[in-house]
Amino acid sequence: MITYMRENLSPQAIWTRQISTGSFTDINGIHVQIGKRPYDRTFRISQAVLKAVPILQSQLCDGAKIYNADPDVFEVVLQYSERNRFLAQMRLGARNPLEQLVGGTDPMLNLAKAWHLGQMLHLLQMQNNLIDIFSVIYRQLLNTRAQMKPSSEPFRYLRDHVGYFTKCEKFLIDFYAGLATNREAFEVKELESLPYEIASALRSRRAYILIHQGREDRILQGNKCFKVSPTDNTRRVSLQVVSPSAASTKDAPIAPQVQPDRAVWPMIRTPRASVPTAITNSRGHRSHLSLPMNIEQLYQAGTSLPADYPQAVSLHARLDSELVVPIRAPFTAPSPALHCKTSSMAAERDSSGYDSVCDSSSSPPRERFDLHQKRETNA
């Protein structure tokens, strides 16, 4: 106690009034941003609070940002930490800042957020103080026979940020179920937004309290099952702290990426190589396909043209135009009329078109006759 008074009453301790938090802080504090945009707020945390809450001192620096905390609830917790100091307790009639959480549209959601923040900061005493404050509110509502509709947001918040079957969740179930003893049973519409196990626990807990006529009301009896202790084997969540440089990079607007216009891109056609057909030599045996192994050779083979390209094209075009006879199965004998028509077409092709094409590269008839006559004279 003497050491504490010497440190806080010495001339070196200079105190200033912090308007944003409503608490006393020294000039050597740090600025921290709480929450996500656009609801984030900036607070100044004094060195005294940093010493009182080791988690803040070890994880925060000037300009850091905490994402998984509510700014309004953090302000109340900050005031609570300032109140626990020796000089703050000297003020007469000082009100517990945690009582501010009772107001608002959903006080039970404020309870869940503050309890979650207390667990992250390892403030076990604050978590138990929250249970005490809301237990007093419960007794007042029970005496006035007031009703409160169960809300799904506190339960979902605890499960998303802390976990399942926490002591705060157990307190919420007893809170709603105990107030429902002064009314009829829960309707289906009231509990349809809640998780199934929460809705079942509310019904069974209300029936259990009614059977025992309030003797098993744990909140009314001041049961310590809702209090936390250092020996609890619970998984504690941690603060999501971002350094100043990372926070500025994360909050910076991302420049939109320019997408290429599809209209200005030309159509690119890739030649398709014909896949060789599997040839069956005998029944039950299949020959292997010989595929080209070099892609560049395949591309050149598909794009290069033969030297006699015009002649080959004219020949194949003429053959294709003349061959109008439908193809028959190999095991079906052709009809006599079809055989005659095919033979006449083949003879006409051999006598006219095919010879003219094949003999186009040979010497003229006059030169061949002179050559033959010269050979006979020499002989």
Annotate 325-343 with three-state secondary structure.
CCCCCCCCCCCHHHHHHHH
Angle at 77 between CA 73 and CA 78, to 5 degrees: 115
Say how many residues make up the chain.
379
Domain 1-94 sits in CATH at 3.30.710
Task: Kindly tell me if the per-residue pLDDT of 338 is higher than 90.
Answer: no
Q: How far apart are CA 162 and CA 119, in angstroms?
A: 9
Confidence grade of residue 20 (pLDDT, cut at 50, 70, 90): very low
CA atoms within 13 A on the CB side of 352: 8
Distance between alpha carbon 182 and the CA centroid of its chain, in Å?
44
Give 235's DSSP letter: P
Tens-place pLDDT, residues 278-336: 444 445 455 444 455 555 554 455 555 555 555 544 545 454 444 444 555 555 555 66
Confidence grade of residue 237 (pLDDT, cut at 50, 70, 90): confident
Q: How far apart are CA 171 and CA 177, in angstroms?
A: 10
Tens-place pLDDT, residues 186-200: 999 999 999 999 999
Least reliable range by pLDDT among 115-119, 165-169, 311-315: 311-315
At residue 66, what are phi and psi to the nearest 5 degrees?
-110, 120
Distance between alpha carbon 253 and the CA centroid of its chain, in Å?
19
214 backbone φψ class: left, alpha, beta (φ>0; ψ -120 to 50): left
Least reliable range by pLDDT among 4-13, 203-212, 257-266, 319-328: 4-13
- Token pair 């506190």 in the structure block, residue: 154
Least reliable range by pLDDT among 54-68, 88-102, 125-139, 322-336: 322-336
Does 109 or 244 have the greater pLDDT score? Answer: 109
Does 219 or 290 have the greater pLDDT score? Answer: 219
Specify the pLDDT at position 103: 83
Q: Are 98 and 76 in contact (CB under 8 A)?
A: yes
Q: Delimit the CATH 3.30.710 region(s) of the chain.
A: 1-94
The mean of the pLDDT values for the chain is 73
